[in-house]
């Protein structure tokens, strides 16, 4: 049963601390995404990678957020320093190479619930 795995599932941290969220995409998927869910904005795309190279990180606050993919089985999202406004659910998703025939379906992990106090 292939699925996207995220850790930690829940994290409570103090303002100013560094937070790292990790994601293992589905084996064979070459595109990996980070989304953030908030009440006001719904699902926001923060960044995505194809074949481990960043394709678009325009949705990510650059001063405190960074996303990397050190290898094909691991993607990380780091916040340093964290702020209370970063409290949200962060989703990782992965997808196979998109084609016009197969469409654009991507598969989400269960999310990392972050609370910054």
Phi and psi dihedrals of 110, rounded to 5?
-85, -10
45 or 72: CB nearest another protein: 45
Residue in 14, 104, 115, 117 binding another protein, rule: CB under 8 A: 104
- Length of the chain counted residue by residue: 117
Phi and psi dihedrals of 85, rounded to 5?
-70, -10
**Using rule CB under 8 A, residue 100 touches another protein:** yes
**Using rule CB under 8 A, residue 1 touches another protein:** no
Select from 82, 92, 66 the least CA-distant residue to 114.
Answer: 82
Stretch that binds another protein, among 20-28, 66-74, 80-88, 90-98 (CB under 8 A): 90-98
82 or 94: CB nearest another protein: 94
**Using rule CB under 8 A, residue 31 touches another protein:** yes
**Using rule CB under 8 A, residue 24 touches another protein:** no
Q: How many CB atoms lie within 10 A of CB 31?
A: 18
Distance separating alpha carbons of residues 44 and 85, to the nearest angstrom: 14
Least separation in angstroms between CB 94 and another protein: 10
List C-alpha distances in Å: 91 to 61, 99, 101, 102.
16, 23, 26, 23
Q: Using CB under 8 A, list all residues that contact another protein.
A: 4, 31, 33, 35, 40-45, 48, 56, 91, 93, 95, 98-100, 103-111
């Amino acid at each position: 049963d292939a699925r996207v795995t995220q850790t930690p599932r829940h994290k409570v941290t103090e303002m100013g601390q560094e937070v790292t969220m990790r994601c293992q995409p589905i084996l064979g998927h070459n595109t990996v995404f980070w989304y953030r869910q908030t009440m006001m904005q719904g699902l926001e795309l923060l960044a995505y990678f194809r074949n481990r190279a960043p394709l678009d990180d325009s949705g990510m606050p650059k001063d405190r957020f960074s996303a990397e993919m050190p290898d094909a089985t691991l993607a990380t999202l780091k916040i340093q320093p964290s702020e209370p406004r970063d409290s949200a659910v962060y989703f990782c998703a992965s997808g196979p190479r998109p084609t016009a025939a197969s469409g654009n379906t991507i598969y989400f992990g269960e999310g990392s619930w972050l609370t910054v106090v």
